[in-house]
Amino acid sequence: MHRSVVFAVAVVILFALVVPAGAQTAGEESGPGIPFIDFSVREAESDQEVALSLQILLLLAVLSLAPSIIILLTSFLRIAIVLDFVKRALSLQQVPPTQVLMGVALFMTLFIMYPTITQIYEEAFVPMADGEIGLEEAFENFEAPIRVFMYRQMQRNPNTIRLFMRLADMPRPANLGEVPTHVLVPAFILHEMTVAFQIGILLFVPFIIVDMVVASTLMSMGMIMLPPIMISLPFKLILFVLVDGWGLLTQQLVASFL
């Protein structure tokens, strides 16, 4: 389901890029505001047509990589892993469904990444649409806010950056701005997975204690054949609801990115 949502967002972005801002209404001489897309292949007549074809190919490549970009270069990875840990810690099998958890992770990602998305829109998309900057400068303006977001998450523990700089056999950078993107991206992914697993371990501890208490009680009562999970599951759900688990989890997840 989350792939379908990402694809829909990508289609909306593509439509926004294609439709001109000053589209004429239907009935005027210039025709309707819906653009005509032609997929015919012919030899380019000028350098401008070659550049336009390359831009379209680049745009299609970015749209095809949009799910990976959203999953790996934003807060989505940490949130999705933590939510899955919560489901496993509560010993829940099908409730809530995985599609629901991925939808929650997607919209929480949009909430957390909204300032970054706004900055990208104002500094990259709008100037490029107005013709003030070229494609190369627009890409740099698009890349900079995402790099800053990744830097902020790793500034307290840049060990993963050191690891990939050492693996790439590159000299030690004077500052984080000198770290190349192809090193920063895998370092950020590894850092997010590490942080998500650390949060998951902390989430498992109280529920493991409940499981141990219930199992010990059943063994002392001689109920060896009764599965402990059948008894511990209601207690874990009651504990999770009483402490407002979803609210605390959401608050701490958002705070971990700020």
pLDDT, tens digit, for every residue of 81-139?
Answer: 999 888 888 888 777 888 888 888 989 999 998 998 888 888 888 887 777 877 778 77
Q: What is the sign of the dihedral through the CA atoms of 128, 188, 81 and 207?
A: negative
Identify which has the larger pLDDT, 199 or 57.
Answer: 199
pLDDT in tens, 16-54: 444 444 444 444 444 445 555 555 656 655 666 566 667
pLDDT in tens, 165-192: 888 888 887 777 778 888 888 899 999 9
Amino acid of residue 255 = A
Output the DSSP codes for 75-121: THHHHHHHHHHHHHHTT-SSSS-HHHHHHHHHHHHHHHHHHHHHHHI
Determine the Cα–Cα distance for residues 105 and 83; give it in Å rounded to an integer: 8
Look-up of token digits 């192809």: 182
For position 22, what pLDDT does the model report? Answer: 42
User: 8-12, 56-60, 97-101, 123-127: which has the minimum mean pLDDT?
Assistant: 8-12
For position 46, what pLDDT does the model report? Answer: 61
For position 197, what pLDDT does the model report? Answer: 92
Determine the Cα–Cα distance for residues 43 and 66; give it in Å rounded to an integer: 30
pTM for this predicted structure: 0.71
For position 34, what pLDDT does the model report? Answer: 54
Residue 233 tokens, joined: 């599951």
Give the Cβ contact number of residue 114 at 10 Å. 10
Determine the Cα–Cα distance for residues 107 and 114; give it in Å rounded to an integer: 10
| End-to-end Cα, the chain, rounded Å | 28
